Structure 1
Amino acid sequence: MNLESPKVTVEKTTQYLFDSLCDVRNFEKLMPDSISKFEVTGDDSFIFGLKGMPEIKLKMKETVPTNKVVLGAASDKLPFTLTGTIVPLSETKSEVQLTFNGEFNPMMAMMIKGPISKFIETLSENMHKL
């Protein structure tokens, strides 16, 4: 399953956004209002929970300086990645898009597609809070 957030323009440099997304503590600022838990578990990982959904642990998997940050599920039960792609628009403006990639059986994919789409959309809409 591959889901993409809308592209969002942010009045920040690509370097600033990249550095902000590499610091997992900043993801708390991006979370939706329905967050029930957010806990940093290491320099490169955090656990979050949303009302009505199980807690998920994310871990930094890959970074490409100034234009890509990849987080992945720390558990093999639900293998997925969340990739943030940052594109410079000018010296002070950047475009950010989040992509969710996961391998799920058709039933699971059908159940989580809506909530995950809304979740990544909210994360991208909150990029200006960084």
Structure 2
Amino acid sequence: MTLESPKVTVKQTPEKVFEFLTNVENFEKLMPENTKFEALDSDSFLFALKGMPEIKLKKKDTQAPSKIILGAAGGKIDFSLTGDISQVDHETSEVLLTFNGDFNPMMAMMIKGPISNFIKTLAENMPNAIQ
């Protein structure tokens, strides 16, 4: 299952956006309201959406300044969240979040809506969160 956020424009350079996203503590600023969030270390964090189990994400790969890949850290499901950063001009970037996971059809049906809303919220909160 692959889900994409809307592409958002951020009034910052790709380097600034990349720097923001590689600091996992900053993801708290992007989370939907009423989401449990806990930074575990410099590379991983835990969050829980309402009505869903806790999910632990860990930085898996980075390609400065254009890509960051977070992946499931432990647990029974394997998925990734990729942030692709592209330069629009010298002071503006675009960011696209892509969620990839391998789920059985029943699980995919149950989580598609909440995960779609989640990555949409992360993306929509970026322009105001990255200063």
Q: Helix, strand or coil for the counterpart of 1:89?
A: strand
Where does structure 1 lack aligned partners over 5 or more consecutive residues?
none
Structure 2 CA distance for aligned equivalents of residues 76 and 34 of structure 1? 23
After TM superposition, list the pairs within 5 Å mapping 1:50-61 onto structure 2: 50-61=49-60
Percent identity between the two aligned chains? 61
Q: CA deviation at 1:75?
A: 1.6
For residue 9 of structure 1, what is the aligned residue in structure 2? 9
Q: CA deviation at 1:53?
A: 1.0
After TM superposition, list the pairs within 5 Å mapping 1:1-130 onto structure 2: 1-35=1-35, 37-128=36-127, 129-130=129-130
1:50-87 residue CA offsets vs partner (Å, 9 max, x unmatched): 22111100000000000000000002511000000000
TM-score (norm. length: structure 2): 0.96
Structure 2 CA distance for aligned equivalents of residues 34 and 120 of structure 1? 15
**Amino acid aligned to 1:116:** I
Q: Which runs of 4 or more aligned residues in structure 1 lie more than 4 Å from their structure 2 counterparts after TM superposition?
A: none
Structure 2 CA distance for aligned equivalents of residues 62 and 34 of structure 1? 28
Where does structure 2 lack aligned partners over 5 or more consecutive residues?
none
Structure 1 CA distance for aligned equivalents of residues 97 and 34 of structure 2? 19
TM-score (norm. length: structure 1): 0.97
Paired positions, count: 129
**Amino acid aligned to 1:59:** K
1:26-48 residue CA offsets vs partner (Å, 9 max, x unmatched): 0000000131x111111100001
CA RMSD of aligned residues (A): 0.7
**Amino acid aligned to 1:7:** K
